[in-house]
Amino acid sequence: MHNEQVTNEQMNTGQAVFGADLFPQGQIRLSELSVYNWGSFHGLHTASIDADGTLVTGGNGSGKSTFIDGLMALLLPAGKATFNVAAAQGDRSDRSLLSYMRGSFGSAHDGSSTRVKSKREKGVVTGLRALCQCDDGSSVTLAALFWTNSATNSLSDVKRVYVVAKRDLQLKEMLDAFGEGNVRQLKQWLRDDPAITDCDSNFSDYEELYRKHLYMDNKNAPALLSRALGLKKIDDLTKLIRELVLEPSGVKEDARKVVEEFSDLVAIHEQLIDAKEKYNHLGRLPELAESISKAAKALDLLQLEKNYLGVYFGEALSILWSNKLAEIGNQLETISRAIKSAEIEGKDAQGSVEKRHEEYLNLGGDKIESLKKDIQHTQDKLNDVIQVSSNYQRDCRNLSLSAELNEELFLENKNTAAEKLAKNEYDTKQSQDYFGEIAAQLSEKKKNLNDMKDEIREIEARPDSNIDISYQQLRDEMIDSLDLSSEELVFIGELLDVKEDEKSWQGAIERALGGLKTTLLVPQKSYSMVTRWLNVRHTGLHVRAQVVCQARPEHSSGSGRPASSFTEFNERGYLRKLVWKDNPYRDWLKGHLNKFDLQCVSGTDELDATPFSMTKEGLVHMERGRFEKKDQRRINDRKSWSLGFSNKSSLVILNSDKKDAELRLAELNATLNEARASLNKVAERAKLWGRLGSYAWEQVNAQYWQQRLDNVSVDLKKLEQSGGNLELAKNRWNTAKVHLQKIQENKGQLLMEKGSLGNDKKHAQEQVDKYQQLASTCMTDDVRTLLSERVGEVTLES
């Protein structure tokens, strides 16, 4: 017993050592296998795999291979996997991914064909899952969902999602996230879990990922593992080992490369001779190497000088700017002393001016100064009155009134202004109303002209029809909405025109056809769509539609077109005056319009005796005794005409109307400018009358202020001529003021110079700081000497 125990322990130890050598990262074992709607396994089924091994056994057809093939579908792509290998006859397998998804289990014969019987015929979802447990306690889950929404038998119609999870991912979790086929919800759920990697339908990415997690370094490992799952017999062991076990050999390729490397000995010999010649030619290399070394040293020195060039200039310029800063400081001190001296002189000069002024006033100068101020005030007032009176006189002349500066006439003009202002309100209202009326007409004419231009553009875009543009736009919208051909929807008026020699009858024919001209012909196969489309829309038009019943195919001619049915028109009917466009509807249209034909008569005598006839002037005799004439428009009003194969005549009329409208618009513009000028004139006169009424007599009485100025000037002249001492005192006062002014001007000049020097000092200080910063890097005396010899003297001017 003891020996047996020792032997078992030794065996276990040996197995552990062998496992450690073979699996350095630890073993990974299949722990669970789950299938959902896989072959005969309907719904969700899970089998646990024991770590020491699990035997899968059962009778024939019990589902052993089906269950194991679920793992095979997780290891190999669906198109390359060979299912049910254990039961395959020869080298063929009768099972595929789709047959497993459908749950195919047999076939049924109905005498003429064979049908495969399946558990799941229509759309189906299949799920597979394999849980692997590692020795370190971690888990790796391989899972896949396959689904199709239809009863397809094509593998390309199967959608799929491959997943690798670094946790125990249950198949039910994925199925719940997938729900009723919500792919977006499933992918969002997969992205939200950081332990899950969604490879979508890319099997290559999925295979690379699970091989990495399961440490399958050999690319043949998945195929070998899937082959081993259903292994019952081996037909060719050598082939199995060569294809699935052995690594591909590269010995043959390596041998071929070695032979190639030693195959050309002549080339090697020539290379040796070439090398010897190169050696002989390179004998001067030591000498050149020495020259290069000297040049390199010189280059190093130049590089050193270049590196410190900025520092050198920083040192030199910082010294120069420091000297400049000191010089400016000395200049500022000199000017400050001069300014202080000027201030003292200014105070003395100000005292002298005040003293001389006092002497002047004591001798009577205060009276002169008072008279001068009075004269200045009177002169200013006179200038103001002259300006106002000049304006007043100009306004009087503009209003055809007397401009004489007389108080009585002034008051009379003011009364006239009050009367005119009252009347001007009525004139202003009349001018405003007239201007507004013309402006409204102009706006309306502009709108009409723009509408006419739009209509011309629309008509020019449709040259093959003379039908009103609104009806053509309705047809275009119908064609776009119903996806019909433009050849199928035609207005009757587009298929008819009046013969050139019968043009005098066109107005009457247009009236006779009436609404038939704008009746839309619709093919029988499409009329139900047209009526449905018209029924749900408000078109804003009187829409008429007529179904065209074409001839049956058996009555068609040999050319494939319906046989032409000849229609005999009334000899005197207006239908004989028409040209009929070549169109598939033409023969049918002749028969249809023949019911509405009217005889063309020359006068009312013949009209009265002929039912269903008409005159060239548009009077129609319907059934006997009933007459009708549609005179809402004139018979020759070509604007209302719709017949014709083109719209050239309509364009001519519209372009003519456009020119008339443009002429009328130009006339209205001129009239509006005249009305505006008249309104401005009324407003200007109202402004003049109002301003004239605002003047006061005191504002324009220049005679009064002129007389007053003359009187004060006489008084001043008499006082100045009264004595000589006053004149002498005044001269001394003026001299003192001139001296004070010179001192103040000199002081101002000094202050300006001081300000300029202050700016210079600020600039110099900035330069000193700038170059001191540049010179802050340490530089040896040797480098400084080298740069001094190369650069020379540095000055601020250089």
Give DSSP secondary structure letters for 417-471. HHHHHHHHHHHHHHHHHHHHHHHHHHHHHHHHHHHHHHHHHHHHT-TT--S-HHH
Instruction: Indicate whether 449 and 551 sit together in one domain.
Output: no
Instruction: Indicate whether 187 and 67 sit together in one domain.
Output: yes
For residue 33, the cross-strand partners are 47, 130
Taking CA atoms, 514 is separated from 508, 519, 593, 745, 772, in Å, by 10, 10, 12, 103, 103
- End-of-domain residue from the set 194, 209, 244: 244
pLDDT of residue 15: 47
Q: How far apart are CA 173 and CA 195, in angstroms?
A: 14
Instruction: Indicate whether 469 and 525 sit together in one domain.
Output: yes
Q: Which amino acid is at 278?
A: K
Taking CA atoms, 61 is separated from 64, 424, 518, in Å, by 8, 118, 78
**670 assigned to some structural domain:** yes
Q: How far apart are CA 489 and CA 486, in angstroms?
A: 6
- Structure-token match 């005396």, residue found: 781
Residue whose C-alpha is closest to residue 621's, from 594, 635, 601, 595: 601
For residue 519, the cross-strand partners are 544
3-state secondary structure of 283: coil
Residue whose C-alpha is closest to residue 211's, from 97, 126, 127, 132: 132
Instruction: Indicate whether 450 and 362 sit together in one domain.
Output: no
Instruction: Indicate whether 363 and 411 sit together in one domain.
Output: no
3-state secondary structure of 163: strand
Residue whose C-alpha is closest to residue 315's, from 679, 730, 776: 776
Q: Which two tokens stand for residue 308?
A: 């410190």
pLDDT, averaged per 10 consecutive residues of the chain (798 residues), comes to 39 46 70 92 91 84 84 84 61 72 72 70 90 91 91 82 94 91 90 92 90 83 71 55 55 58 65 78 79 85 80 83 89 89 83 71 61 75 77 75 73 72 66 73 78 70 76 90 88 88 87 89 91 93 89 41 66 90 90 91 90 91 89 79 72 71 79 73 70 72 71 63 62 80 89 89 88 82 79 76
Q: How far apart are CA 301 and CA 99, in angstroms?
A: 86
pLDDT of residue 94: 64
pLDDT of residue 725: 61
**273 assigned to some structural domain:** no
Q: Which amino acid is at 523?
A: P
**205 assigned to some structural domain:** yes
Pairing of strands 196-198, 620-621: unpaired
Instruction: Indicate whether 314 and 346 sit together in one domain.
Output: yes
Residues 6+ apart with CB under 8 A from 49: 29, 30, 31, 32, 33
Q: How far apart are CA 79 and CA 203, in angstroms?
A: 11
Q: How far apart are CA 87 and CA 78, in angstroms?
A: 19
Instruction: Indicate whether 640 and 508 sit together in one domain.
Output: yes
3-state secondary structure of 144: strand
Q: How far apart are CA 518 and CA 640, in angstroms?
A: 12
Residue whose C-alpha is closest to residue 39's, from 21, 12, 63: 63
Q: How far apart are CA 421 and CA 416, in angstroms?
A: 9
Q: How far apart are CA 48 and CA 46, in angstroms?
A: 7
**6 assigned to some structural domain:** no
Residue whose C-alpha is closest to residue 470's, from 407, 540, 520, 366: 540
Residues 6+ apart with CB under 8 A from 520: 471, 475, 489, 490, 491, 530, 543, 544, 545, 546
- Structure-token match 């991914």, residue found: 97
Instruction: Indicate whether 159 and 209 sit together in one domain.
Output: yes
**614 assigned to some structural domain:** no
Instruction: Indicate whether 385 and 531 sit together in one domain.
Output: no
- For 496, phi and psi rounded to 5 degrees? -125, 150
Instruction: Indicate whether 197 and 79 sit together in one domain.
Output: yes
Q: % helix / strand / coil in the chain, to the nearest 5?
A: 60, 10, 25
pLDDT of residue 167: 93
Instruction: Indicate whether 469 and 582 sit together in one domain.
Output: yes
Looking at residue 259, the DSSP 8-state letter turns out to be: H
Helices (H), 461-569: 469-482, 506-513, 527-535
Specify the number of domains making up the chain: 4
Q: DSSP assignment of 21-79, as one string?
A: HH-TT--EEEEEEEEEEETTEEEEEEEE--TT------STTSSHHHHHHHHHHHHS-TT
Q: How far apart are CA 380 and CA 374, in angstroms?
A: 10
pLDDT of residue 774: 80
CB 206 within 8 A of CB 61: no
Give the global pTM: 0.33
Question: In terms of residue numbers, what domain contains 163?
Answer: 25-244
**251 assigned to some structural domain:** no
Q: How far apart are CA 35 and CA 130, in angstroms?
A: 9
CATH number where 120 lies: 3.40.1140.10
Taking CA atoms, 490 is separated from 135, 458, 546, 590, 645, in Å, by 84, 18, 10, 15, 12
**702 assigned to some structural domain:** no
Instruction: Indicate whether 354 and 483 sit together in one domain.
Output: no
- Structure-token match 């689904």, residue found: 147
Degrees to nearest 5, angle at CA 17 with 11 and 19: 100
**83 assigned to some structural domain:** yes
First and final C-alpha spacing in the chain: 110
